[in-house]
Amino acid sequence: MSLYKSISLSSLTDARGGLIAIESYKNIPFDIKRVYYLFGTDITESRGYHAHKNLKQLLICVSGSCEVTVDDGEGSEVVLLENPDQALLIEGLIWREMHNFSEGCVLLAIASELYDETDYIRNYDDFISYSKQVKEGLDECHS
């Protein structure tokens, strides 16, 4: 199973330029509770290095490009975001890191929950332990 879902957003483009609309349950599978964006990130910097317990999130490079590493504790993939019509949907327990920001990159995040620091796991070893606990809990439910 893939660690993320890639969503191709329909663009309404005419002679004036492009427009992309994102609407809950039309092109993304959750209610939008929060929108934020990362900008002015120095090209030598990386961000993220955390997982979320419950958050669902859509990431779009509305300008420039960056790479997002997604990791479920058993394997990882690197996704290049470089088009405003390309969205990365991250759901479930996934460690994420953002690297290789281009000059002028603006990374838009659309989230299913309000900001809650208790939803973050910011230590990789804690992420692995928590993932194991959740998986064992699920295995027990299915046995």
Q: Catalytic amino acids?
A: 50
Q: How many residues bind ligand T46 (CB under 6 A)?
A: 10
Question: Which tokens is 1 given?
Answer: 């199973």
> Quick one: which of 27, 37, 48, 130 contacts ligand T46 (CB under 6 A)?
48
CB nearer to ligand T46: pick between 74 and 117: 117
Question: Which tokens is 67 given?
Answer: 């790479």
Q: How far is the CB of 10 from ligand T46 (least distance, A)?
A: 23
Q: How far is the CB of 94 from ligand T46 (least distance, A)?
A: 9
Under 8 Å between Cβ of 102 and 64: yes
CB nearer to ligand T46: pick between 38 and 89: 38
Under 8 Å between Cβ of 37 and 109: yes
Which of 65, 90, 68, 88 has its CA nearest to residue 77? 68
57 lines the binding site for ligand T46 (CB under 6 A): yes
